[in-house]
Amino acid sequence: ERIRAAKEREHQDKTDSRQRVNRYISPGAANFRGPAGVMDANSGDVVASRSQNPGYGGPRSRYMLEDEDPEIEQEIDSNINQMSDALSRLKGLAVATSKELDSQSKPMKNIAELSDRTSDNIGIATFHLNKVNKK
């Protein structure tokens, strides 16, 4: 009964872990829809896209010089957007990794405490056995 419950708990933990990671790295994840933007440091969610940010962008034509090729500028903008999207996904993966480590920290601490207690109990039992053997 205990073994079956432990296996079920292990299976549920793996499923939860997979869901946490997939929430941040799947292409359709809510955190990565639309253009790259400003991310909330605590939740990792995009709170404003660059197009909504009045301090970003604006009409580029007033910044272009006469000898600059608009096609090259568009290609540069496209590359910057692709890099921004990739970095957003990378940040999402980092946030997911951090949350996964946090979620596994407590069980690992419990395991360490249990193994310390078990080690102590084995030491005490060994002491008593040695004491009995000397008699």
Read off the pLDDT of residues 43-93 as tens digits, 9 standing for 90 and up.
Answer: 655 555 544 444 444 455 555 556 667 788 888 889 999 999 999 989 988
Res 35: pLDDT: 45
pLDDT value at position 47? 54
Q: What percent of the chain has pLDDT over 90?
A: 24
pTM of the model: 0.48
User: What average pLDDT does this structure show over 15-29?
Assistant: 72
**CA–CA gap between residue 70 and residue 126 (Å, rounded):** 81
* Per-residue pLDDT at 15: 87
Matching residue, tokens 């480590």: 101
> What is the model's pLDDT at position 55?
45
Q: Are 88 and 36 in contact (CB under 8 A)?
A: yes
39 within 8 A of 45, measured Cβ to Cβ: yes
Q: Which residues, other chains included, contact 89 with Cβ-Cβ below 8 Å and sequence gap of 6+?
A: 25, 32
Q: What is the pLDDT of residue 86?
A: 92
pLDDT the model gives residue 39: 55
Query: Which pLDDT score is estimated for 113?
Result: 94
CA dihedral 92, 95, 97, 99 (to 10 degrees): -140
